[in-house]
Amino acid sequence: MSAGAPPPAAGRRHRHGRRYRTLPAAALLTLAALTATACGASEPESLFADGKVSVGAKNDQPGTGVVHTYKFSGFDITVSQQILKSVGAEPDFGIVPSEDRAAVLTDNKKDLVAATFSITVDRMKELDFAGPYASTYQGIMVRSKDHRIRKPEDLFGKRVCTWPGTTSVTTLEGPQYERIAVYERPDASSCIKDLKDTKVADAVSTDQMILYGFTQENPGLRVVPDITYGSANHYGIAMKKGHRQDCLKLRDALRDYVSSNSWSHDFSTSLWSIPRADPTWETDYKPRVETIDALSCRDRPRT
Amino acid sequence: MSGGVGDNGGDIHNNPTAHGDYSIAANDIKKVIIKWVMHPSARWLPLLLACAVVVIAWTGWPDGPARQYALWGTLAGLSLVTAAARVLNRRPRDARVVGTLSLVSVLATVGGWLAFQSVRTHGEIDVTGQVRTQGTQPLDDAARRSLTLLLDAPALEKPRNALRLTLAIADHNPAAPTCLPDTTATVSLLTSGAAAQPTTIRPGGTVDFTLGARVSTVRIDVRLHTARGCRMDVQTTGAVLHDN
C-alpha cells in the first residue's frame, strides 16, 4: 500500500457517503418519471402521431361527401384534407352511414368523422367537435316540374322522405310539423329514388347544403329556397373524447381556414349550385370564428 | 439635613392612592371580576350564554346562502370552544387564563349575535323557488319571444332593495342543432316605482336589479334574441333578494 492511498475504512466511508447522497436523488428521479408517466397516461398518443388519420365520410352525398370510381370528393373531404394538412397529417377516408357516425368513433373504428355531422348539445356530451366548418338550415327538395310546393303549408298532407340518424328527422318530429306525412328510408339514395323515379315521395327533407349537392347530379330535382325548418345545423369534424390537444389543433387550423379565401374557393368548387342559387351564400353558409370558439372541443357550448 | 425625598416621597411610588380615586375603583373592579371569574358557579355561565345564542339563532334561521353566515359561525364556534375550555378548567391556578377564556367567550357570543342580526336584517334571501313564470315556452325569435317572471308579496315579506337573478337558457330539444352561441336575453324590471334597468345577458348570466323602496310584487320581462328557427327554454336558476 502506498503512503498516499487512503486507508480502507476511510474509502468505505467515502463510498457509503456517496451512496446515501445518491439515494434521495434516485428517489426523486423515480418520482419524476412516475409523475410524467401518469400525466402522459391522461392524454393518449396523438391521433396525428403517425401522419395518417382514418376519417369516416359519406359516400352518397354529392357536393359534400361522395365516392366516384373509388375516389372521395365533396366539401367534407376538402375541409378534412386542408385542416389535417395544417397539422401534418393525411386523411385515410372510409365510408360511414349517418346512423353509425358516433359509434365508429366510440368503438375506435375511425379517428375522425367528417360527414355533415351536426353539432348538438347531446352529441357534445359524447364526442368532441372541431367546428363548425359550415352552417346550413334544413330544407326541402322537390321534382323540378312540381310547382305545388312553394311555402311551408303546401307540405301539409304531402309525403316527405328522410333517413335515420340525422337531425332532420328530429326537427320534423316536432308538434308544429305533425301535419306533414314524414317517413323514413334507410339512406339518402333511397329517398332520392322515391322522389325522382317511383314518385312515392313528394319531397325529400334534409339540410339545404346536402340538398343542393343532390341537385348537382340530379337536374330533375330542385331546392325550394323559401322553406326551411328548425335552426341552423353546424357541421363539425367529430372525434372521440380524450384527444383534447388534437381537437384544439384542428380548431386552430379550422379558424385559419375559415378566415382565409380558401374556404370560399373550396365551398364554391364543391357546391357550385349554391352560389348560383343564393347571392348571400357566404353569409348564409360560412361559420363565424366566434361560433367555432363556442362549439369546438367542449363538453357543452360556451355561452 | 433631614426630610427630603425620604420623608415626602420615599413611599409615593408604592402608594396605591397616589393616582387618585380612579385607581382605587379599578383595583376594586379587578378584584370583583377575579372573584367572580374564579367562583365555581361562573364556570358554566359563558357556555350557557353561548348555547342560548346558538339555539335562538337556530330557531330563527333565515334563508339565504350559507357563506353569509361565515362570520356568525366563526364567532359562535369560538364562543363555544372557549366556554367549553373554561368549564373543563376545574381548578384554575391562574386567574388570568380563566378570565381571558370567559371574556373571549362572552365577547364572541355578543359579536356572533350582532353578526347574526345583521344577516337577518340585511342578508341575502334565496327566493328561487318562489319565482312564478307567466308565458308559454319554448321561446323563439318570432311570435313567442317574451316571458314574465313574477315574485309575489310573500317572497318580498322581508324588505330588501335589490334582486339578483340568474337565468338558464337551453335548447328546447338538445338532440337538435344547438342555438346557444347565438342566443341572448334582455331582462327588464316592470315594477312600478323602479327603473326598468334593461340588461342583456347570455345563457347562464346574472343580472342585478335595484328594487328601491319597499315593493309588493316584482315583475320581470324576459325577451329572447336568438337565431332563426331556434326554440329555447328559459329557467330561473337563481333569485336572491339582498341589500345593496
Block residue for cell numbers 342560548: B52
Which of B122, B150, B173 is the last residue before a domain boundary?
A: B122
Residues B202, A233: C-beta atoms closer than 8 Å? no
Residues B238 and B138 in one domain: yes
Which of A231, A251, A270 is the last residue before a domain boundary?
A: A231
Residues B178, A229: C-beta atoms closer than 8 Å? no
Distance separating alpha carbons of residues A275 and A281, to the nearest angstrom: 6
Residues A88 and A208 in one domain: no
Q: Which helix (H) or strand (E) holds A66?
A: strand A65-68
Distance separating alpha carbons of residues A46 and A33, to the nearest angstrom: 20
Residues B153 and B171 in one domain: yes
* Res B239: pLDDT: 93
Residues B176, A294: C-beta atoms closer than 8 Å? no
Residues of B in Cβ contact (< 8 Å) with A152: none
* Res A10: pLDDT: 42
Query: For residue B15, what are the CA distances in angstroms to B26, B31, B44?
Result: 15, 18, 37
CB–CB of A149/A203 below 8 Å? yes
Which of A180, A215, A231 is the last residue before a domain boundary?
A: A231
**B2, part of any domain:** no
Residue B163 forms beta bridges with which residues? B209, B241
Residues B181, A302: C-beta atoms closer than 8 Å? yes
Residue A90 forms beta bridges with which residues? A52
CB-based contact (8 Å) between A270 and chain B? Answer: no
Angle between helices B70-88 and B45-59 (to 10 degrees): 150
CB-based contact (8 Å) between A35 and chain B? Answer: no
Residues A205 and A241 in one domain: no
**B4, part of any domain:** no
Dmax (CA) of chain B: 115
Distance separating alpha carbons of residues A277 and A284, to the nearest angstrom: 12
Residues A131 and A246 in one domain: yes
Which CATH number fits the domain that encloses residue B207?
Answer: 2.60.120
Residue of A nearest to B141 (CA): A231
Choose among B176, B227, B228: nearest Cβ to A171: B176
* Res A101: pLDDT: 95
Which of B67, B91, B122 is the last residue before a domain boundary?
A: B122
Total domains present in chain A: 2
Residues B181, A119: C-beta atoms closer than 8 Å? no
pTM of the model: 0.74
**A256, part of any domain:** yes
Which of A200, A231, A262 is the last residue before a domain boundary?
A: A231
* pLDDT over 90, % of chain B: 34
Residues A171 and A204 in one domain: yes
> Which of A244-258 are b and which e, b meaning 16 or more Cβ less than 10 Å from the residue's Cβ?
eebbebbbbbbbebb
Residue B48 distance to chain A (closest CA, Å): 53
Q: Give mean pLDDT in consecutive 10-residue pieces for chain A, a chain of 303 residues.
A: 39 48 54 51 79 95 94 97 96 93 96 96 96 95 93 91 82 83 90 92 95 94 92 95 96 96 97 95 95 96 88
Question: Is residue B8 over pLDDT 60?
Answer: no
Write out pLDDT tens, residues B116-132.
888 888 888 889 999 99
Contacts of A241 (CB under 8 A, 6+ apart): A126, A127, A128, A299
CB-based contact (8 Å) between A137 and chain B? Answer: yes
**B178, part of any domain:** yes
Higher pLDDT: B15 or A4? It is B15
3-state secondary structure of B201: strand
Residues B141 and B214 in one domain: yes
Write out pLDDT tens, residues B64-95.
777 888 888 899 899 999 989 888 877 767 77
Sheet order of strands, B218-225 included: B132-134, B146-151, B218-225, B184-189, B199-201
3-state secondary structure of B126: strand
Instruction: Write the Ramachandran bin of B94: left for phi over 0, alpha for psi from -120 to 50, otherwise beta.
Output: beta
Residue of A nearest to B227 (CA): A231
Phi, psi of A224 (to 5 degrees): -85, 110
Query: For residue A53, what are the CA distances in angstroms to A34, A88, B92?
Result: 30, 10, 79
Q: Which three cell numbers stand for residue B230?
A: 331556434
Residues A120, B228: C-beta atoms closer than 8 Å? no
CB-based contact (8 Å) between A116 and chain B? Answer: no
Residues of B in Cβ contact (< 8 Å) with A120: 171, 174-178
Geometric angle at alpha carbon B109, from B108 and B110, rounded to 5°: 90
Residues A170, B175: C-beta atoms closer than 8 Å? yes
What 8-state DSSP symbol labels residue B69? Answer: G
Distance separating alpha carbons of residues A299 and A129, to the nearest angstrom: 9
Residues of B in Cβ contact (< 8 Å) with A170: 173, 175-176
Choose among A170, A294, A295: nearest Cβ to B173: A170
Residue B33 distance to chain A (closest CA, Å): 59
**Which burial class, exposed, middle or buried, applies to B233 when counting CB atoms under 10 A from its CB (0-12, 13-18, 19+)?**
middle
Residue A138 distance to chain B (closest CA, Å): 10
Q: Which helix (H) or strand (E) holds B219?
A: strand B218-225
Task: Find the domain containing A92 and state its range.
Answer: 52-136+233-295
Residue A224 forms beta bridges with which residues? A140
Of A91, A229, A211, nearest to A155 (Cα)?
A: A229
Q: Which three cell numbers stand for residue A45?
A: 398518443
Task: Find the domain containing B97 and state its range.
Answer: 17-122
Write out pLDDT tens, residues B138-163.
999 888 889 999 998 887 888 888 99
Contacts of B132 (CB under 8 A, 6+ apart): B149, B150, B151, B152
**Interface confidence (ipTM) of the complex:** 0.75
Residue of B nearest to A118 (CA): B177
* Res B19: pLDDT: 57
List, as ranges, residues 200-239 from A with C-beta within 8 Å of B: 228-234
Higher pLDDT: B238 or A23? It is B238
Residues A147 and A223 in one domain: yes
Residues B180, A137: C-beta atoms closer than 8 Å? no
Residue A70 distance to chain B (closest CA, Å): 32
What 8-state DSSP symbol labels residue A153? Answer: G
* Res B10: pLDDT: 42
3-state secondary structure of A253: helix
**A159, part of any domain:** yes
* Res A13: pLDDT: 45
What is the pLDDT confidence band of residue B187, given thresholds at 50, 70 and 90? very high
Which of A21-30, A251-260, B49-58, B192-201 is predicted least confidently?
Answer: A21-30
Distance separating alpha carbons of residues B45 and B102, to the nearest angstrom: 9
Residue A278 distance to chain B (closest CA, Å): 17
Residues of B in Cβ contact (< 8 Å) with A131: none
Residues A221 and A238 in one domain: no
Contacts of B232 (CB under 8 A, 6+ apart): B138, B139, B140, B169, B170, B171, B172, B179, B183, B224, B226
Residue A85 distance to chain B (closest CA, Å): 28
Residues A99 and A142 in one domain: no
Sign of CA dihedral A96, A102, A106, A112: positive
Residues B100 and B152 in one domain: no
